[in-house]
Structure 1
Amino acid sequence: MESLPRDGFLKFNSDTLEAVRKVYNLEKPGEMKQAVDILEEWIRQQQHFTKKTFDRRYLELTIIVSKGSLERAKSRLDRACTFRTLMPEIFEEYDIRNDAIISRDLKDITHSILPKMTKDHNRIYILRNTGKKFETTFLDSYMKVIMTFAEYIKVHDYALSNYLVLDYMDVNMVELASKLYITTMRQIMALVTEGYGFRVKGILILSESKLVDMVVSIFKQVMPAKIGSRIEVLKSPQMLKDIVGEEVLPADYGGTEKTLAEMQEDFFNVIESKDFKAYLRDINSAKTDESRRQTDKFNEQYLGMPGTFRTLSVD
């Protein structure tokens, strides 16, 4: 694509397309088109893929999150399709605002991708959790919602990397820690980083609690050491402004944009639109037929995954 996708929600810097491509040595005319062509041809040759045609924007953004590496992009595509096969319940179509279980489990959470990028082409996701008590299915519901977010980002965003901001100023830290099940969190990390290839520039936790280290310790158990080293605890929104800039932040975090609740409403309107739901149904058909895969490759790449993946039996 020669222009960035526009849907009325995400905004980009004037030089984002050129700047991001240049980082990965794909800025010359025709280079990205050639890379996508190669990836399309490779997909057609994969006998175990149930879907052989993908939106070219999706393929280009797969190359971008793979740092310009076609081999890494192939792996990302394979893993994303495999995860949809292994965990179909995560990729079902959900009405995020009206699903009874999700609404109950996530009633104390407000979260959204922020429309504006930072000056250096990074995207920010903010989650505010004010819960005092959590259901045992809390993390399962969150995983379903975050996969919808991830699918949206995968075909609409063009960021170099992402900041994850977790606002735990008003949460019951002990109760939260008790519901952060290690197996589920590892699955979320595998899906987001290995299936979708999202790059994490920093995890910024807003909290004044002395118990925040308990949550940080759990996070570090499920993350690669490189990502875990990027966790930073901030005592105030002012510290957040100093890192990412007030021009991208919601008004309730000292920024100049809408409030986080208003951003969430706008974002949910987009991901619950008829067009995006149709896109989700299409992309969720991109699975694998494991009877047609080379078994040794599957064993090498997936049986070492945590939780569900370790015990999978392939007929």
Structure 2
Amino acid sequence: MAPQIRPLTPELQKAAIEQLKEDPARLEADLQAFKTWIDQQPHLNPRTDDQHLVAFLRGCKFSLERAKSKLDKFYTLRTKYPEFFKVTSTTEGKFREIHQTGAIIYLPTPLNDNGPRIAIWRMGLCPVEKYHILECMMVAQAMQEIAILEDDYANVHGVVFIMDMKGATAAHMFQMTPSMAKKFTVFSEEALPLRLKAQHFINTITGFEQVFNMFKPMMSKKMQSRLYVHGNKMELLTDQIPLKYLPKEYGGENGTVPEIVAEWEKKLDAYSDFFKENANYGTDESLRPGKPIDFEGLFGIEGSFRKLNVD
């Protein structure tokens, strides 16, 4: 049976072949090998639709071993820490309220028209007296999950992330504990199939450096090399992301925040049942073959994260 995968544009297909080692003639066999391995894992109950699984293969440049590890970690960490990583409702609590602030947006046109997806988080739009950073992260998690399923630019070329701290305070920074920082760093690098191509920080504030210096050593050397701190110098950002690819609120041409929010509201409505179904997927550590995972050892403040032992 042919894979149930959305066809890539010719430009994206060329990039997937050249940069991700994707072989369209082997795609069905690659997916079948992945599914066969999943069937042999008694502890693992993931989504197995082709579009979801191919995102993990693309995110790992078609290394089946890496894709296995990443998929296992994706569901392991979501099951163990649902308050950090598992979204099951996009209508309850403060979720929609936070989304409607426009604090977290994915811009409609990718960088250079056929490159990475651009995402922006405007921290100052979520005052600490109203929202905790974990509530904001749940909105970001949901948007990432939708991107995994439907954003071919993000899956092939990755994501460029801009953290804009205008209007934020030190209190925003200090909501992020070392334990939380470690969990988010590990999930981003070890579990998420979307590749982070660059992370830009603009309009940085007092307290930023302390949190930044906490995060940075937790990252791989490769990820550290993709961090850019621009302070208040917008021209340093636009040297790498031409102004036209930023929203109109920044002087660019890449949509307006209200338009983007309205479009994503429709997506969140359309994915409502999908997120409810997230409650059904995960891992059962009592069924994991071999040695159980020592989560406290993996994420304790004192120790550094050690890679999960996954075939």
Tell me the CA shift for residue 110 of structure 1: 1.2
| Aligned residue pairs, count | 294
What pairs up with 1:258-269 in 2 under 5 angstroms?
A: 258-269=255-266
Instruction: Please state how far the C-alpha of 1:278 moved relative to its aligned partner.
Output: 2.1
Stretches of structure 2 that go unaligned for 5 or more consecutive residues are 304-311
Quote the sequence identity (%).
22
RMSD: 3.0
Of 140, 144, 157 in structure 2, the residue corresponding to residue 160 of structure 1 is 157
Give the one of 193, 198, 213 matched to 1:197. 193
Partner of 2:59 in structure 1? 65
Contact 1:109–1:129 under 8 Å retained in 2: no
Cα gap change, 1:55 to 1:271, in 2 (>3 Å): same
CA distance, structure 1, for counterparts of residue 235 and residue 5 of structure 2: 35
Matching residue of 2:166: 169
- C-alpha displacement at 1:152, in angstroms? 1.0
Q: Which stretch of the first structure deviates more once superposed, 220-229 or 110-119? A: 220-229
**Equivalent residue letter for 2:43:** H
Deviation at residue 71 of structure 1 after TM alignment: 0.4
Q: Distance in 2 between matches of 1:223 and 1:112?
A: 24
Correspondence for 1:32: 27
For 1:246, the equivalent position in structure 2 comes to 243
Per-residue deviation, residues 274-295 of structure 1 (Å, max 9, x unmatched)? xx12222334422112222124
The letter of the residue matching 2:65 is E
Asked if structure 2 preserves the Cα contact closer than 8 Å seen for 1:241 and 1:255, the reply is: no
Give the alignment's TM-score, normalised by structure 1: 0.80
- Contact 1:162 1:198 survives alignment (8 Å): yes
Counterpart Cα distance in 2 of 1:272 and 1:185: 30
For residues 109 and 256 of structure 1, the distance between their equivalents in structure 2, rounded to whole angstroms, comes to 17
Deviation at 1:209, TM superposition (A): 4.5
**1:113-128 alignment runs, 5 A limit:** 113-119=106-112, 121-128=115-122
* Aligned counterpart in structure 2 of residue 80 of structure 1, from 74, 94, 112: 74
Q: Provide the C-alpha distance between the structure 1 equivalents of 2:178 and 2:277, rounded to a whole number of angstroms.
A: 31
- Counterpart contact for 1:133–1:175, Cα < 8 Å: no
Post-superposition Cα deviations, 1:190-230, rounded to whole Å, max 9, x if no partner, equal 22322213322211011165654334323324433432332
- Residues 74-153 of structure 1: matches in 2 within 5 Å? 74-89=68-83, 90-95=85-90, 99-100=93-94, 102=95, 110-119=103-112, 121-130=115-124, 133-135=127-129, 138-153=132-147
Give TM-score, length-normalised by structure 2.
Answer: 0.81
1:74-125: per-residue Cα shift (whole Å, max 9, x none)?
A: 11111122123212344242335x624x467788661111222223621111
